[in-house]
Amino acid sequence: MADVHAALGGAGLRNVHVREYVRHWAELTGAARIEVINASDDARLIGEALADGEILPAGEGRYYSRSYVKDTARSEERTVVATSNPADKGVYNNWRPAGEMRPLLEERMRGASAGKTMYVVPYVMAAAGSPLERYAAGVELTDCRTVALHMIRMARVGVHYIDNLADQNSFVRAVHVTGDLEKLGQGTPGDQRCFVTIADERTILHFGSSYGGNALLGKIAHGLRQAAYDGWASGEFLAEQFMLIGIADKLTGKRYHVCGGFPSASGKTNLAMMLAPDALAGRYRVDFYGDDIAWLRADPDDGKIYAINPEFGVFGVAKDTSEVTNPAALASVAPGTGTLFTNVAYNDRTQEVWWEGRTPAPPADVAGWRDWTGTLISERPAEDADAPWAHPNSRFTTALANVPNVAPDFDDPRGVPIDAIIFGGRTRDREPLIRAITDLAEGVYDGLTLGAEATFAAEGVEGLLRYDPMSMRPFMSYPEGAYAAHWLKVIGSAASQPIFAHVNWFRRDPGDGHYLWPGYRDNLRPLLWLLRLKEGEVRGRQTPVGIIPAKDELDLDGVAATPEELETILSIDTPRWKQEIKHREQHLEQFAGLPEEIWQAHRRVAAALHRAD
Ligand code: SPV
Ligand code: MN
């Protein structure tokens, strides 16, 4: 049995509430040792993890690990939001009573860390001094050293963050117990994994994984689910799965900030790290703030909406990250950055890493290369010859400060004023490149009807979206009707409101299916148009679903698209929109208590489409 008080006292951790919390869970999980973690412990922990073979060297100052083969991603069906109030049940939050989930998790976790070290990771999800700092503090307890190493990169970690709290008891209690991964029945009816946020007790209990958001509890469990609930309960802020960028106009000296949500596999990280296209780089600079989470609040001093990225690092998907798609991401994982790679392919002779899309073809000389499961490529059975070398959800974990175009003020606790909020999907035939929305309720309505196309017929009806409201479907923690009302309230309370827009980089040619827009760096162009529209410098063209750019309003210097291609991406397919609007009605009807303003917005858009034929 660990000597909790000796370990905490030795680390200078005085907060009595934290001490009691650690004592409780150390006893319950049966951890053999307690170790308190500060960011300055990184080099020592890396050394220990290398010595134990838990991580492998991947070139200078970079590391590699493999997860258990059945533990490679977030599990939505095993994730629950619990409270003591049944009225908190929504459509997507998998609500369960707190009184049922806490005993269940205690049972799973009892004795499950026997013989292991419990790492105590005090962290904050905000820069010190943020107006939202009282929602930012947490203490993760984890029995996995690699998780502690990830937390050091993804959050601000240190004892001083937790000992100096204004309210000593106001921290998120975040307990992570890995469990015996080989015996958890992942994906079977007897699946033992359970990932619970008890939102009204500000307690996160995750059992049965050491991967990503299942285990790094500052990120989506605290940064999204808990924070969204706190933001709603306090009435103060929104916590969204949004990227956040700055656009600086070097000619005028103006700086703009844009945030927004995209369902997975819609290029959110690439957009967040985008550089200006060569033809525009003399005038514009894109600054990176964050790729996954933004907290938004109205500032009473100047009446603007401010956003922060509560994270300290990037947990990015490796697949398809290349010099073409995302050179900034590659630079952020260069030698010397302390990057941790997970589940990519690894060469144990050269210590190189590789993933699909890193280069057009895999390394020609397969000597030493192992796939993400650890199997030598040269020894893979014939039937696996075409299997990917890296897992599709393989990741790189690196600090924000390693991103070459990180904003100079990324650490400013006040955050940055938001000019535009964008939503984007991956839509082959209906959505134009960009459509701007100037009305708040219509903007929120657009976010609530965000979706991704079903990827193959088996997943859904052709043309029917898998709706992913605000890209928050897996992170919703309270009912959708209240969520929409909270959006209207927070953004509506700002005297100067951001403009909304829906973007789509993925429109295809109806004939041969090729992409009509080059994407990547060129995505800056529609965003510049949006900011000009907001400034009243262009007028666009009104359509039933928003304002789209007139052809001569987009700066296309250096873009190879043909006039026909531009014609298509700057047009609305009215018959397809009429189909879509019916699906939206059914989607929204699921949500009890949806504000009347949202229904009115829906009816306005439907009526405008009706008149359009
Ligand atoms: C996501 O899946 O949206 C992530 C990664 O950001 S994880 O933290 O694992 O959820
Ligand atoms: Mn995410």
Tell me the mean pLDDT in the region 367-372. Answer: 98
Q: Is the CB of 597 under 6 A from ligand 1?
A: no
Find the ligand nearest to 292 CA: 2
Q: Is the pLDDT of residue 106 over 80?
A: yes
Tell me the mean pLDDT in the region 460-484. Answer: 90
DSSP state letters, 223-250: IIIIHHHHHHHHSS-EEES-EEEEEEET
Read off the pLDDT band of 50 (50, 70, 90).
very high
Q: Is the CB of 267 under 6 A from ligand 1?
A: no
Read off the pLDDT band of 3 (50, 70, 90).
confident
Q: Is the pLDDT of residue 120 over 60?
A: yes
Q: How far, in Å, from the CA of 150 to the mean position of ligand 1? A: 13
- Of the residues 224, 292, 391, 395, which should be mutated to test ligand 1's pocket, given the most ligand atoms within 8 Å of the CB? 292
Residue 561 CA to residue 571 CA, distance in Å, equals 15
Residues 6 or more apart whose Cβ sits within 8 Å of residue 455:
none
Instruction: Determine the atom of ligand 1 nearest the C-alpha atom of 219.
Output: 8
Q: Is the pLDDT of residue 440 over 50?
A: yes
Tell me the pairing of strands 434-437 and 499-504. antiparallel
pLDDT at 566: 94
Tell me the pairing of strands 395-399 and 203-207. unpaired
Q: 496-534: per-residue pLDDT in tens? A: 999 999 999 999 998 999 999 999 999 999 999 999 999
Tokens of 322: 């290349």
Strand ranges in 30-171 using DSSP code E only, listed in sequence order: 33-36, 56-57, 63-65, 79-83, 95-97, 117-124, 137-142, 156-157
Phi, psi of 81 (to 5 degrees): -110, 125
Strand partners, 285: 248
Tell me the mean pLDDT in the region 133-161. Answer: 97
Q: How far, in Å, from the CA of 291 to the mean position of ligand 2? A: 8
Tell me the pairing of strands 79-83 and 465-467. unpaired
Strand ranges in 395-532 using DSSP code E only, listed in sequence order: 395-399, 416-417, 420-425, 434-437, 451-453, 465-467, 499-504
Tell me the mean pLDDT in the region 232-251. Answer: 98
Residue 383 CA to residue 513 CA, distance in Å, equals 30
Mean pLDDT score across all residues of the chain: 96
Q: How far, in Å, from the CA of 453 to the mean position of ligand 2? A: 18
pLDDT at 457: 45
Strand partners, 424: 503
Residue 406 CA to residue 329 CA, distance in Å, equals 11
Residues 6 or more apart whose Cβ sits within 8 Å of residue 89:
95, 479
Q: How far, in Å, from the CA of 292 to the mean position of ligand 2? A: 5
Q: How far, in Å, from the CA of 218 to the mean position of ligand 2? A: 12
pLDDT at 266: 83
Q: Is the CB of 290 under 6 A from ligand 1?
A: no
Q: Is the pLDDT of residue 265 over 80?
A: no
pLDDT at 458: 47
Q: Is the CB of 71 under 6 A from ligand 1?
A: no
Q: Is the dihedral of CA 307, 313, 319, 325 positive or negative?
A: positive
Find the ligand nearest to 392 CA: 1
Instruction: Determine the atom of ligand 1 nearest the C-alpha atom of 212.
Output: 9
Tell me the mean pLDDT in the region 314-339. Answer: 97
Tell me the pairing of strands 434-437 and 416-417. unpaired
Tell me the pairing of strands 313-317 and 255-261. unpaired
Residue 608 CA to residue 613 CA, distance in Å, equals 10
Q: 485-498: per-residue pLDDT in tens? A: 999 999 999 999 99
Q: Is the pLDDT of residue 461 over 80?
A: no
**Ligand 1 atom 8: the closest Cα is on which residue?**
213
Strand partners, 416: 307
Q: Are 48 and 41 in contact (CB under 8 A)?
A: no
Q: Is the CB of 396 under 6 A from ligand 1?
A: no
| Burial of 595 per CB tally in 10 Å (0-12, 13-18, 19+) | buried
Residue 473 CA to residue 263 CA, distance in Å, equals 9
Strand partners, 452: 466
Opening angle at CA 516, ends 511 and 520, nearest 5: 150
Read off the pLDDT band of 248 (50, 70, 90).
very high
Q: Is the pLDDT of residue 360 over 50?
A: yes
Q: How far, in Å, from the CA of 214 to the mean position of ligand 1? A: 9
Residue 563 CA to residue 566 CA, distance in Å, equals 5
Tokens of 387: 């299997």
Read off the pLDDT band of 400 (50, 70, 90).
very high
Tell me the mean pLDDT in the region 246-260. Answer: 98
Q: Is the CB of 213 under 6 A from ligand 1?
A: yes
**Residue that is written with structure tokens 């000992």 in the block:** 163
Tell me the mean pLDDT in the region 554-561. Answer: 90
- Percent helix / strand / coil, the chain, rounded to 5: 35, 25, 45
pTM recorded for the entire structure: 0.97
Tell me the pairing of strands 434-437 and 284-290. unpaired
Q: Is the pLDDT of residue 452 over 90?
A: no
Residues, CB-to-ion distance under 5 Å, ligand 2 = 292
Q: Are 26 and 118 in contact (CB under 8 A)?
A: yes
Q: Is the dihedral of CA 143, 127, 309, 316 positive or negative?
A: negative
Read off the pLDDT band of 463 (50, 70, 90).
low
Residues 6 or more apart whose Cβ sits within 8 Å of residue 540:
436, 529, 533, 547, 548, 549, 550, 553
pLDDT at 471: 96
Q: Is the pLDDT of residue 460 over 70?
A: no
Q: Is the pLDDT of residue 196 over 50?
A: yes
Q: Is the pLDDT of residue 544 over 70?
A: yes
* Range name among 62-71, 297-306, 552-561, 597-606 with the lowest pLDDT average: 552-561
Residue 607 CA to residue 280 CA, distance in Å, equals 39
* Percent residues over pLDDT 90 in the chain: 93
Q: Is the pLDDT of residue 55 over 60?
A: yes
Residue 599 CA to residue 604 CA, distance in Å, equals 9
